[in-house]
Copies of this chain bind each other. A is one copy, B any other.
Amino acid sequence: MTLNPADDQFAQSIRAALPDEVLRPVTARYLEEPRRRISGQAGVLAVPRTAEEVAVLIRLAAEASVPVVPYGGGTGVVGGQVTSDGPAPLLISLERMTAIRAVYPTENVMIAEGGVILADVQAAAEGANRLFPLSLASQGSCRIGGNLSTNAGGVNVLRYGNARDLCLGLEAVLPSGEIWHGLSRLRKDNTGYDLRNLLIGAEGTLGIITAAALKLFPRPEAVGTAMVQVTSSEAAVDFLALARDLMGDSVSAFELIHQQGLLFLSEVLPDTRQAFAEPPEWSVLIEIGLSMGQSPETAFEVLYEAAEARGLVTDAVIAQSEAQRQDMWAVRERIPDANRLIGSVSSHDISVPISAIPEFIRRGADVVAALGPYRVNCFGHLGDGNLHYNVFPPNGHSRSEYDAESAKVKRAVHDLVHEFQGSVSAEHGIGRLKTEDLERYGDPVKLSAMRAIKSALDPKGIMNPGAVLRL
């Protein structure tokens, strides 16, 4: 399918159909992504205010066969929001669609437009004494439409699920330029195919999410947070199972932290307040949410004693205040910042079946060591089997010295993940940086079904071309 650039003539067609302020100059921030692997092309930037305006834009793009790149908060790390290949695109940013249309506390539902910043969704839920549990490092700038389009994960997936699990319905503009009015507040609706989940995680290749009906939850009465030293990665997995046995689904976060990350923090972000004087080889950040007058301290004491009796843990610090809780989370959330300052040779957002994690970590260490004297920082959402597995140059060396090795390291780690029946993109998506990985490791029958669905819904291939499925 031949596509045409979003040129002056195309911009003129938009000006003729929509108010002038819908078009804006394309500034640098729309052409960058956080890891600077791809530089986007400047085409035309539109900032619509309504689903109807989005629909007009998509219809014009479809008529002119102009590629469309949807833009949320711009925080994605796989290049789904920028394109350097093909004709210059129409960028559609949802930054002016920031209304929270309604909150229904008794139903535990909120209707938010696609451009609402995640932190604002959380705050609006809190204002209604409810919880919207999606929580991730970029929540101050990412937007809920993008979170849904990429099926974002984060730190509360263990208890509450991914973005897709937090959505009841969508309003979206399909590649035909038609608006699907699917903003259902229903918990149960078995009337036809699950178009909602097809759009969620499609990374803008099947349409643009203009609004969503989001699930809210009761706020736990009491939240407890602790940093716990575990004796090994096996012990971490067993400690997780024990915590879930004892506390049911009260465990909302369970983050694995390796010594390497704490050493990086000491090196490049030394003002970070760490829980332990000596960085332990393995530790976990655990958070629980309780109700009915239960005490987090008591719950942690019971858990710790049971874990100690099994030889799983050697020390723990329980947050005694919100400030201490914030400090613990800051350790976890700043590890990616420290990683960036150190500079990785290759970084991986992977998942494997939870019970296989210790063996994966062992095998991974061998695989990486066979390639060179690298340092590995492996951390993340253990409760979901999702690790950020990052490989760094030896102490005293910089990433640039290893540029030539990066692809080899990535391939070796991903091959191992595949051998473990894991995923090479657990929560970040495919974007444009992982399309080759998807082709290599993805199930061929699924890939061919995906291509058939893409062609059926977007026959001209205008929606975010090159993302998820290669051009």
The distance from the CB of A110 to the nearest CB of chain B, in whole angstroms, is 13
Tell me whether B450 and A193 are in contact (CB under 8 A).
yes
Stretch at the interface among A93-101, A179-187, A405-413: A179-187
The distance from the CB of A424 to the nearest CB of chain B, in whole angstroms, is 7
Stretch at the interface among A66-74, A244-252, A272-280, A396-404: A244-252
Stretch at the interface among A20-28, A56-64, A452-460: A452-460
* A206 CB contacts on chain B under 8 angstroms: 193
Tell me whether B193 and A453 are in contact (CB under 8 A).
yes
Stretch at the interface among A40-48, A117-125, A289-297: A289-297
Tell me whether A198 and B187 are in contact (CB under 8 A).
no
Most buried by B among A105, A438, A449: A449
Instruction: Please measure, in the bound complex, the distance between the C-alpha atom of A354 and the C-alpha atom of B186, giving whole angstroms.
Output: 8
Tell me whether B195 and A201 are in contact (CB under 8 A).
no
Instruction: Please measure, in the bound complex, the distance between the C-alpha atom of A107 and the C-alpha atom of B238, giving whole angstroms.
Output: 10
Given the interface pairs A188-B384, A249-B249, the reply to whether A180 lies near B449 with Cβ below 8 Å is yes
Judge if A425 is at the interface, Cβ distance under 8 Å. yes
Tell me whether B198 and A202 are in contact (CB under 8 A).
no
Judge if A353 is at the interface, Cβ distance under 8 Å. yes
* A286 CB contacts on chain B under 8 angstroms: none
B-facing mask of A152-187, CB < 8 A → 1, else 0? Answer: 010001100110110000000010101111101111
B-facing mask of A229-264, CB < 8 A → 1, else 0? Answer: 000000001100100111111100000000000000
Interface members, chain A 265-315 (any B CB < 8 Å): 289-292, 294, 299, 302
Stretch at the interface among A338-346, A362-370, A440-448: A440-448
Instruction: Please measure, in the bound complex, the distance between the C-alpha atom of A191 and the C-alpha atom of B442, giving whole angstroms.
Output: 8
Instruction: Please measure, in the bound complex, the distance between the C-alpha atom of A440 and the C-alpha atom of B185, giving whole angstroms.
Output: 20
**CB closest chain-B residue, reference A189:** B423
Instruction: Please measure, in the bound complex, the distance between the C-alpha atom of A182 and the C-alpha atom of B456, giving whole angstroms.
Output: 22
Tell me whether B291 and A250 are in contact (CB under 8 A).
yes
* A299 CB contacts on chain B under 8 angstroms: 292
Judge if A426 is at the interface, Cβ distance under 8 Å. yes
Judge if A376 is at the interface, Cβ distance under 8 Å. no
Stretch at the interface among A6-14, A326-334, A427-435: A427-435
The distance from the CB of A93 to the nearest CB of chain B, in whole angstroms, is 22
Interface residues on A, range: 35 or more
* A162 CB contacts on chain B under 8 angstroms: 188
Judge if A50 is at the interface, Cβ distance under 8 Å. no
* A186 CB contacts on chain B under 8 angstroms: 351-353, 385, 421-423, 426
Tell me whether A190 and B427 are in contact (CB under 8 A).
yes
Instruction: Please measure, in the bound complex, the distance between the C-alpha atom of A299 and the C-alpha atom of B292, giving whole angstroms.
Output: 8
* A424 CB contacts on chain B under 8 angstroms: 191
* A248 CB contacts on chain B under 8 angstroms: 218, 220-221, 289-292
Instruction: Please measure, in the bound complex, the distance between the C-alpha atom of A244 and the C-alpha atom of B130, giving whole angstroms.
Output: 11
Judge if A378 is at the interface, Cβ distance under 8 Å. no
**CB closest chain-B residue, reference A423:** B189
* A198 CB contacts on chain B under 8 angstroms: 193-194, 197-198, 453
* A157 CB contacts on chain B under 8 angstroms: 187-188
20 contacts between A and B (CB under 8 A): A106-B241, A107-B354, A151-B190, A165-B165, A180-B443, A182-B443, A186-B352, A186-B353, A186-B423, A187-B351, A188-B381, A190-B425, A190-B427, A191-B434, A192-B430, A192-B447, A193-B202, A194-B200, A292-B299, A452-B457
4 extra interchain contacts, Cβ-Cβ under 8 A, other than A190-B428, A246-B292?
A197-B197, A247-B292, A453-B457, A455-B456
A residues whose Cβ falls under 8 Å from a Cβ of B = 104-109, 150-151, 153, 157-158, 161-162, 164-165, 174, 176, 178-182, 184-195, 197-198, 200-202, 206, 217-218, 220-221, 237-238, 241, 244-250, 289-292, 294, 299, 302, 351-355, 381, 383-386, 421-430, 434, 437-438, 441-443, 445-450, 452-453, 455-457, 468
